[in-house]
Structure 1
Amino acid sequence: MSARPKPPREFTFFPVVNFITGPPGVLRNGGIWKSIKRGIIHELKLSTIMTQVLHFVDFNLNEKSFNEWFKDGKTLKDWIIQENPTYSPILFADSGGFKLLYNREYDLSKYQLKATPESVLDLQLKLGADYVASLDYPIPPGLNKKETNERMEKSIMNAVRLMELVYDSHDVDVFPYLAVHGRSYEEIQYYVKRLFNLLEETGFNEYSHYPFGLAIGSMVPIKNHYELIVEIIKALKDTLLEIHSDPEKIPIHVFGISGRITPFMYYLGVNSFDSNTYVKAAQNLQFFVSYTQKKKFYTITNRDLDLCPFCDCIRGRNLQKAKKILKSKSYSRYILNGKEVIKSDIYGIIALHNLSVQLNLIGELKKYNPKSREFKEWLVRYANSDNKLLKVVAKLSTIDEDFIDIATKFKLKLPKLSKGQFYAQRISLKRDPTKFDITKTPYSVSPEKRVILILSCTPKKPYSKSTTHKLIFRYLQEHGVDIKKIEKVTLSGMYGPVPQDFEKETSILEYDFVLSSRTPEEQITLVSTRLKEFLEVHAKDKWVIAYIGGGPYRKIVQRVQKELNGKVSIILLPDETQLKRRVNSEVRKKTHLKTLVATLKGLLKNY
């Protein structure tokens, strides 16, 4: 049996890579991921990689193709080595908890998988993972206290179960990382103490015999709230110092966070982190030009390519040609720098460039002792022109007076710290469509309202306070539409129609759910039936406009249109022929808003 992998001791970055993007092998498919995989396996040869254990579900992989990856005991890592026999990275597999939180309709049964610690570990081993994370239940910002406590307890129990599987029943040579969750200093403190108490009760108190790491989760939703990130990391470090005899032995990983906060994580004693920022940015055509700045790819010049090791084929005159290709048809083939390419190849170049910038930052940080005065001065200079980063320095100055001295030396006035919680909206993850049903609630549309305007629901509650709803109604007012004659009704993926007067009902304010292509037919039918019944009762003498961009919501409206068979006139905007993508953001485009204004004015001109 091979030796158990050792955790990283120096600051380590695990770029997130999706390998299983279709049938095997590794470079057979994947679009942008195909270019990324090629660059990582054959050029960068990164020593450490994170793969999200359930990433393959995003690529509509069927059961047969999925099983082919693991035929005859072959692992994902075996496939990587087959592609380049000189390359064998350390592979970290997460548990899929975050993906399951925000994509609860995933059907894992067709892959013979379950959301259990045993099933997840089995899949992590199939991937050939060296480091494995415990199956966790991330905590969204604003989640109510009862559900927060339930999810924390489940995560803690699963962490203990992973230790049992790794060291007792399975005895496998992987290094376990136990997920840690909390949105405040106090929640982290409670979680870690509870976890360590249970580890001691189950016989895992001898760290030298049963080593593990801790991995901080629930971070992606707060990725832009740097002060809170610092507080959570510090809470974990402080609690370990309080309860463990040798806390420095326990490696700390941070899930899903990178970017400008990275140097501060190094200072705070984080050992490793992972992120897919480099590829997310590339998909949005964002090109990193420094550690802290990025530009839209269409605006970069050849000077911005100077330090890019992957940009040879787009330098010089080829840069303008690459920009032109990105505006052309997908899947068509083009000649660039004498080679045949498709659009995704250029996206891949941008992603690999962004990744190289992140790796350069890690190399720069490792030149310093994170606790040295020299590095603290580096941090202050790094943060100097960014008020958000200066707030992080201000927070650190409350625990390390060196930062006050350095700020004084540099003649910097540190900003005041933010006060209070960054989230105010309370949510629930429980699904209960019976909590609100307009078809069983006393309600009528005022006679002066001539048009029922249906909009899709938003994460922000009340819906009327959301950016999208405010933008739409502001645009209508600015362009002369009499909004007093409009009854706004929001189509909720949970409850169906929600008239504006009901937006502040507790059940409406607290639910956290949107329709997706994976939503069960039962829920689609529920929303469709309620919308149909609502319109049959309240829209007999009204015009109805459904101004909706998102595909699942449009399909419900189209289904109801067909079922009503002309009994109620429903105008669905934007028109199918004008939609570039069936996503909610389409309704914010001026071309569609102009059509909405013209349609409303036409309907209301006689009233």
Structure 2
Amino acid sequence: MEDSIDSAIRCLELLEDQPDPPAVYVAIHGHDYETINWYVGTFLDRATHIDKSFEGFAIGSLVPLRTNVEMLVDIVQGAKDAIPADREDDLGLHLFGISGKFTALLTLLGADSFDSSSYMQAAQFKKFINREIGVSDEELVRNPNASTHDLGDFGVDVDRTADARWAADWSKFTADQIPDDWGCQCPACEHLRRIGFEQLQSTMYDSKSYDRDGYMKSDFYALMSYHNFCVYQDEMNHVRKLINDSGGELLEYVAKMARNDVGNIKRALKRATVRDRELAQQLRERGYNRLVADQSDAEQERLDLDIPVDDQEISLEHTPEDFNILDRKDYRVGDERVLLVIPCSQTKPYSNSRTHRVVADATAEWNDQIHKVTVSGMYGPVPEQYENLSQIKSYEYVLTNAEKQRQQLVVDRLVSYLEEYGSQFDAIVGYATSKTYRTVIEQAFAQYGDGVVLPKEPKMRALTEHFRTTNLEELSEHLDDVLSSTPPQ
């Protein structure tokens, strides 16, 4: 990915000399928050001299993830969180291959533009995209607009019950199963009514490439594709209108989609609130408490990954009692001179993550002098030698600012660790930029009475700063000063 950044910057540098260069979106490929966040932050840090043609980022390789809504949320949040607030209005975020039912949600999270060919691919299989919702065993709502057709309007409990049959949400039906009461008013369906749906079915299923009435199968493939496109475009236009209304209507619309359980939007929105506490607060203020990740959700938010982490299953069963370094009888500190404390990562083992690798690269010169301890939101301090334990590799947890009890547990364990082992080091250094983990490390160092947290003055408390070259250089220079000026104990 370093080569990708180099190539993108070189391309933009060449365009700087042109009088009227084209607009360029830098393509990114990554399947987790951390990778996308690193790429965007690193690129922006290195592209400060680019002025003319750079317009934003375009995220690819998303089509296989359409069923993994939590990962889509992670990817969009990873990109948006890396863009400084003063550049949010200047840089666009485009998503390749994703649209339709996800448009409103991903727009709410910060995506600006979309493209998709799934409307055409559906037509290739003779399928119409439909947005009907079954509200009972007898009653269907055809083509509902979720801003006005809340299932609560039909007297149906918003939770799934035996009385609420959710027959379809952005579902598809084939051309030989067109409902008798099909009422779509799009231009394609109006044209099909003039031709006759029976003619469509006869040509598509009973003839070869064309029939005696002069219609070819390709005529109807095109009309089905046009219908599907109109469904997508109608949703896009509606989202644009909600954005222009600018009174929270987009949030309300997404919340209703989630409450009505359209296309796993509820799972995705809950996932988004784990990191975005402002979004969580806005939902609570509107009465959508059940759409916000509660403490148990945030503690063990499982990533529905297609690729296992070193063949380890992610477990929801772990608790802080499954690992506590203070209870380990086999732990010994070696002859390293510096204790380096850094936050945990989504990738396991931690040392394989991009966040840990950039720190390892920045401190490689003193590798044999550093004793690395990772601060886990689940377990507190985890020395590097224990990273491959199953309970360390198989939990998934995001420590947030709202979880005061868990923060205190982590602080207490880190303080106890420092009281037990801190005196064996010449220096204690923390490197953390994400707000919650930095706060935890700062509090522990303050209670213990020793230790410095770097960077000393990050531009913002966010993961993006973790990858900033100047911050990593500050860590490197600090270690150089400590190890060159302090005699070994």
Greater RCO (Cα-Cα under 8 Å, separation 6 or more): 2
The alignment's TM-score, normalised by the length of structure 1, stands at 0.40
The alignment's TM-score, normalised by the length of structure 2, stands at 0.49
